[in-house]
Amino acid sequence: MSSATAGERSLIIQNQEHKPRSKTRRNFKMLKFISSILWKQASLQIANARQHTVWLFDNTAYQRVTPKSLGQGRPAWRVEVVACVFEKDSRKDTSKFVATIADLIGLDGEIGTERETRHKITRRLRPFLYQTAPAHTMVIEIPLSDDSIQLRQIGPTDSNGISSQTVDLCSRHLADGTRIRSYLRGWEGEVSMDTVFAGPEGWLLISDIDDTIKYTMTSEPTGILRTTFVESARPIRGTPQLYFHIQRQLVPMWFYLSASPYNLYPFLREFIYTYFTPGTLMLRESSWMDVGSFIRSFTTYTMEYKVNNMERLHRSFPKRQVLCIGDSTQKDPEAYAEIYRRHPTWVKAILIRKVTDVPHLEGKNSPERFRTAFKEIPENVWTVFEEPEEVYQVVDRLSQSIL
């Protein structure tokens, strides 16, 4: 073997001299990495009833069918658990926000006395002004049978105080359509979530909320404020009866996909449970710093948001048949058309309510808008209607598989 030249020797020496430094840097980085993990673990806290307010969102369990699971009999159930954690008694001074909303909507006798109205605005505003609780965990009790309860740790919450994670239920015996109620451990039954188990086949309904089934006036900023913070939630005339007919004819799994912020979850859940078939609410994880950004949260990037969430539903329920219902105020026609183009055998029908009880919608209600949105999509797939009674026959045809 030939000896190294002077240049080579100097290079070797130089490399050897740098090795301890490189090792030192690696050790320092490793120590820093381990320290960061230990710090994060030490900073995690368990949510407790004395200091925190917790919401658990109702959800729908599904079976992930894979080649491996097919060889094991019925696939195990999975469910996405969404929880929100807030600091108790952390509300900011609401007077500024209440005054702003009251000025914008214009207090009048139609919505009660000024004192009553301001009290209602304050109550509805509170979920928006809670301080979120990041880096918190919790444990839920999931009753999978009369004598079996699974414990699952949820979290940690992110910077918005939200935790969203998929939980494997490790159970195969529960039947399609089963409904259970899980509780937050250690909270004496105060916080719960309902889970319905949906098998891989059957119908699935995706419904918008605002101006599809609930009167919101999303095209009018003051209308959004009045219907969200002041007025009682009102269903669109005839929609509760239509949805009851859909439930009777198709028996679908229900998903309410809305661009409304997640802070409205208790308000919207109560509305749906009062007038419609309960289901999973899919709401936007958005925050706002002023009234203007709150209004924009209803109307910006709604198509992308809805398409992304419908893709998630397709991954969980690829074999289900889907009915989509929305309205003309925002981007529902375009969003539903896009998901049909991606999965034409999945989406069986699209129903769009043409909103005529809100001003300044001439362009959004024009035939040209709908023709453009549904370009190259078969006409028997999409229907634009004004009154819910007009689409009963569409639902009946779906139930008979004539479409």
Question: In terms of pTM, does the model score above 0.95?
Answer: no
Q: What percent of the chain has pLDDT over 70?
A: 82
Give the whole-angstrom CA distance, residue 176 versus residue 247. 16
For residue 162, name the pLDDT band (cuts at 50, 70, 90).
very high
Quote the distance between the C-alpha of residue 267 and its chain's center.
Answer: 14
pLDDT of residue 136: 97
pLDDT of residue 39: 43
Backbone angles phi, psi at 86, to 5 degrees: -125, 155
Name the average pLDDT for the chain. Answer: 85
| pLDDT tens per residue across span 24-55 | 555 555 554 444 444 454 489 999 999 999 99
| pLDDT tens per residue across span 328-356 | 999 999 999 999 999 999 999 999 999 99
| CATH value of 201-402 in 3.40.630.40, 3.40.50.720, 3.40.309.10, 3.40.50.1000 | 3.40.50.1000
Q: Structural domain boundaries of the chain?
A: 43-66+74-92+129-199, 201-402
pLDDT of residue 7: 36
DSSP codes joined into one string, 211-261? TTTB---TTSHHHHHHHHHTSPP-BPTTHHHHHHHHHHHH--EEEEEEEEE
pLDDT of 92 > 70? The answer is no
For residue 174, name the pLDDT band (cuts at 50, 70, 90).
confident
Give the whole-angstrom CA distance, residue 236 versus residue 333. 19
Give the whole-angstrom CA distance, residue 211 versus residue 329. 7
Fold exhibited by the domain 43-66+74-92+129-199: Immunoglobulin-like (2.60.40)
